[in-house]
Amino acid sequence: MAKLHFFYSTMNAGKSTSLLQSNHNYKENGLDTIIFLPNETSKLSNGQIVSRIGLKAKAVVADKEFNFLKYIKEKTTKNLSCILVDEAQFLSKSQVRQLGQVADKLNYPVMCYGIRTDFRGELFEGSAELLALADNLIELKTICSLCNRKATMVVRKDENGNIVTEGSKIVVGGNDIYMPVCRKHYQKLTKLI
C-alpha cells in the first residue's frame, strides 16, 4: 500500500534538492512522476522547482482550488509511480486530505516537502495537516545560522536585516529574507516563545 510522506525542515535543509533527486531516480528507471508546486511560489520560479544548488524541474502549479485527486486520476499513465509536492506548507487542509486519498485509493506514493512553521513559530495549514495525517514524518536537518545546533525555526528579516515578528504569514523569499536558527536563538531574536 502506498504512503503519504512528509519531509520537513527549516530553510536551507535541501528539501527541493531531495525532491529533485527522488524525481531523477524514478525517471532514471523509466518511471513517470508528477511534480506539483503551490501557486504561492510558482511566480518566483516560473513554475519550476529550483534548488539552491542549481537543479530544477518543471512542475504543475496548484492554486487553492486545485483538486489533486481529480487531476491525478485524469493524468494517470501506465508508468506513473510517484507524486512529488514541493512547498507543501502552502497546501490547504483539504488538499492534504486529497493527497492522502491519492495514496490510499490510487495507490501512488505521495512525497511532500515543506517547512513546518512560519517566522512566528506557528504551523502552516498544510504542514499541520501533514503532521497529523502522514504515514511517515522525515525531518531533513540543517544547522543554525548563528551556532552549530540543529535549526528548528526560521526568522524573517526586513530589507535592513532587522528581525520581523509581525506581518503577512506568507512572504516568499530566500536567504535575503529568512534565516534558519535553533530554538534558543529564535527566542533570543524574536522574544515570541
159 is known as an active-site residue: no
Contact 15, 138 (CB under 8 A): no
Contact 113, 103 (CB under 8 A): no
Contact 145, 151 (CB under 8 A): yes
User: Among residues 28, 87, 122, 159, which one is catalytic?
Assistant: 87
Distance CA 78, CA 96 (A): 24
Render the burial of 69-101: b for 16+ CB within 10 Å, e for the rest: bebbeeeeeeebbbbbbbbbbbbbeebbbbbbe
Catalytic positions, please? Answer: 87
